[in-house]
Homo-oligomer: A and B are copies of this chain.
Amino acid sequence: MSDIAKIGIVTISDRASKGIYADESGPAIVAFLTEALTTPFEPLVRVIPDERPLIEGTLRDLVDHHDCQLVVTTGGTGPATRDVTPEATEAVCDRMMPGFGELMRAVSLKSVPTAILSRQTAGLRGKSLIINLPGKPGAIRECLMAVFPAVPYCIDLMEGPRLETRPEVVSAFRPKAKPAS
């Protein structure tokens, strides 16, 4: 295990990957992590089109060859025919984490009724956590604020690097250990 956390950040967008517009979503995730984490981390950034084999290959590469214990994706989770990020995520994960998608949809639903169209999920590949976020920068922050308090303990449980957060941004929650008996 390296001494700084490696975090994969994958923007999945046909247009951003072709340079038709600048990717704002990946940088929004990096900005959130920089603000939220006091633990040093190395972001591994990718911008790829909505091609399922490429998404799967990128996720596998970040986890298996680059030792990312956390990978966050943005984009490709809606109902448009090109949106296949959840299917690619499920294909590379051996265990799913349904609570992430449920909570992100419930939180977004307070803002927009179309939150139910978000198909985002999360899952585990070996000892790594992969989380789908929505594509829009505003929704990214809202979803990260909701789920990130649980992320450091999840990484702990998989024996990954200890992530510490700035409590004024987001409080990592770690259930107290049982008192020694």
Of B112, B119, B147, the residue contacting A97 (CB under 8 A) is B119
Over the window 106-130 of chain A, the binary record of Cβ atoms lying under 8 Å from chain B Cβ atoms (1 yes, 0 no) is: 1001001111111101001011010
Does residue A91 face the partner (Cβ distance < 8 Å to B)? no
Known: A87-B95, A97-B119, A102-B102. A114 touches B175 (CB 8 A): yes
Besides the contacts A79-B97, A117-B150, what 14 more A-B pairs have beta carbons closer than 8 Å?
A79-B124, A80-B157, A96-B119, A98-B98, A99-B118, A99-B119, A100-B116, A102-B102, A102-B105, A113-B150, A114-B154, A114-B173, A115-B150, A116-B150
Does residue A54 face the partner (Cβ distance < 8 Å to B)? no
Does residue A75 face the partner (Cβ distance < 8 Å to B)? no
Does residue A103 face the partner (Cβ distance < 8 Å to B)? yes
Question: How distant is A129 from chain B, measured CB to nearest CB, in Å?
Answer: 7
Closest to A116 in B: B99
